[in-house]
Structure 1
């Protein structure tokens, strides 16, 4: 067989296509490259985006917003002390960007101005915290990225 320009171009195309196919198959099959979506219901949450903006603006207009502390017991979420904590309702959602299996949501039930997320529920690393809460029928939202 005679090797000329046409044969070289065909071999280059076959080699390139083989490399791309190997790369695609490896990325789609190997669990090491498995990446989770931020949320399964992306479009449904997109429709709620303006409500979230309004809730965040409500929280910014408070005299004192939610704060947090990291202690040996866990993550302590501190609600504003000028509010009656018995009227605070809502949920706390902790999202782990690296692995959705560790995401969890907990209802807000306060016996004082602090809510404790136990240390055993939190792994070291980055967490996104979202506190969606109500006080006197007015909704508030607190979002923060923390490193535990």
Structure 2
């Protein structure tokens, strides 16, 4: 059987379309390629972005900003020493980019100027830490990508 050039073009198109369809179906059905958004309500978070910028600007006006360090027991978050700990309210959110099941949020509850995030809640690797807190009706925000 002899194949002319018209038949060869049709076979090439069918082969190419089959090749593309294989990858489309494979990417749509395979859980290995499941990519989620960073947050579920992405567009609502985007509208609050200017508020976050203002909070970060407020943080830069402090004498000392919030700091963190890795210890044997976990992550030790230190709040400014010149502030009264009874008036510090807020939350600490740790986001794991590689697995959203590991994300967690902790309310700020201080007995001294330090807050400890226990080691048993953290795995080695990259985390994004966000500390959203208020003091004297002023809102502050600390964001940083850390490697634990």
Same fold at TM > 0.5: yes
CA distance in 1, matches of 2:97, 2:57: 25
Give CA deviations for 1:101-121 in whole Å, capped at 9, x if unaligned: 000111000011110000000
| Secondary structure at 1:35 match in 2 | coil
Cα deviation for residue 20 of structure 1 reads 0.9
Q: Is the 8 A contact 1:36 1:99 kept in 2?
A: no
* Structural mapping, 1:61-76, within 5 Å: 61-76=61-76
TM-score (norm: length of structure 2) = 0.97
Tell me which residue corresponds to 2:15.
Answer: 15
Cα deviation for residue 2 of structure 1 reads 3.0
Is 2:30 aligned against 1:30? yes
* Structural mapping, 1:1-148, within 5 Å: 1-148=1-148
TM-score (norm: length of structure 1) = 0.97
Moved over 4 A (4+): none
Cα deviation for residue 86 of structure 1 reads 1.3
CA distance in 2, matches of 1:93, 1:44: 18
CA distance in 2, matches of 1:14, 1:53: 52
Q: Is the 8 A contact 1:134 1:140 kept in 2?
A: yes
Number of residue pairs matched?
148
CA distance in 2, matches of 1:58, 1:41: 25
Unaligned residue ranges in structure 1 (runs of 5+) = none
Unaligned residue ranges in structure 2 (runs of 5+) = none
Taking only aligned residues, the RMSD between alpha carbons, in angstroms, comes to 0.8
